[in-house]
A = this chain, B = another copy of it.
Amino acid sequence: MQSANLLVRKLQLMAPLDAADIAAVEALPMRLKEMKARTPIANEGNHPRECCTVVRGMVVRSKVAESGKRQILSFHIPGDVPDLESLFLAELDHDLSTLSTAILAFVSHQDLLDVIRSRPMVAQALWKCTLIDAAILREWIINLALRPAVARMAHLIAELHYRMAAVGLSSENQFDFPLSQARLGEALGISTVHVNRVLQELRGADVVDIRSNRVTITDLSTLNKMAGFNSVYLHDPRVQPVMVPDPS
């Protein structure tokens, strides 16, 4: 099954899995589900009984504050398991929804827990997935708090490019990224109007062209420089180290 393969390949990067480990993951009963764009998968306060792997498309984690404003916390691409935490945190503390039309593979907590119990290395690999997820959240914080709007945008694009490339979905510096400017603003903590101006600036500087559903990076090294991008936090051996020197 293709969805299991995607997961196996990712988990193999995380920990040394033997044949039995791999067999156990491949044997996991997965319920494939195709979902429309912008459809909720689970919401804050839910008590999910299963986890989902992204097979195709993208998924967003978000949370709404008491003011009613929404903030996107992370984007998830094929191979990710965006709600893996729900295995041990009974109550979901954020919303999860599709961005594009997507195919998700659902696995019950019960089945997953069985594998975790019988295959410690698989458990470790999954654990490591959640740790990398947290590392990306930390960088997200840096992005929101420390960088001006243009750099913020550049960083988001750079991160997604490398993550997408790692699973073969960004070739020739192009990848699908189907979201409106309003949602880009929700991810970066800037207003829709300002997103528009930032995009124009990046387009005008011939660095990156972000349209409604596709990103084209014209000048990756300038993009990295503008973003101050440093790939360490991705903890992914498939990503070539990128390290922009300090301007000092």
Interface residues of A in 57-80 (CB under 8 A from B): 61, 63, 65-69, 71, 73
Cα distance A65–B94 in the bound complex, in angstroms: 27
Query: Which B residues are in CB contact (< 8 Å) with A27?
Result: none
Digit string of A206-248 for contact with B (CB within 8 Å is 1, else 0)?
0000000000000000000000101011010000000010111
Cα distance A189–B41 in the bound complex, in angstroms: 32
Query: Which B residues are in CB contact (< 8 Å) with A63?
Result: 138-139, 142
Count of chain A residues with a beta carbon within 8 Å of a chain B beta carbon: 53
* A173 adjacent to chain B (CB < 8 Å): no
Query: Which B residues are in CB contact (< 8 Å) with A141?
Result: 71, 73, 137, 140-141, 144
- A65 and B189 contact, CB distance less than 8 A: no
* A194 adjacent to chain B (CB < 8 Å): no
CB < 8 Å neighbour of A232 from B91, B117, B246: B91
CB < 8 Å neighbour of A89 from B128, B247, B248: B128
Minimum CB–CB distance for A163 against chain B, Å:
15
Of all chain B residues, the one with the shortest Cβ separation from A135 is: B93
Cα distance A244–B65 in the bound complex, in angstroms: 11
Query: Which B residues are in CB contact (< 8 Å) with A139?
Result: 63, 93
CB < 8 Å neighbour of A130 from B91, B123, B131, B140: B131
A-B contact pairs, 12 of them (CB 8 A): A61-B138, A66-B228, A66-B230, A71-B145, A89-B132, A91-B232, A93-B139, A93-B233, A94-B138, A117-B120, A130-B134, A134-B134
